[in-house]
Structure 1
């Protein structure tokens, strides 16, 4: 959690914002999931590692194609969180 929070905070600073917004957290979770997938070969959220930066795959990183990818990931992440919300709330009330 600390790594994701630090990444979200860093993205907010790069975007010249004083506060972390949902967009920052979504990007941080996406990067974390890519890292986990690259290392272990599996992501709970079905994230695939992005290939290395090259001139011909620039739209993967900037522009409408990337915006669409991030919007789709945000919807998927929201659904994942909602589907597991009851499990999390019962864990915290027990502790």
Structure 2
């Protein structure tokens, strides 16, 4: 999924935000670690739910998967809209400096 254009845009935006903070050494390591944890929490969460919930969890996870498949275009549009609004806001803020 790393080569997915949506994931590349989100990762590039996060990397840019981290670099723009000017973090070095320990702070940079913490920022990258937080990004990785936040980025992987849905996968880790699904694995934990599956391990703890058994057959009930499988049914729940299947419903969530079906919802995301059905609404993937809307989910992608909202995520990219929020990302674009954030980048636009950062750019406009930078113009005022």
TM tier, smaller: 0.3 to 0.5
Structure having the higher helix fraction is: 2
Rg larger in 1 or in 2? 2
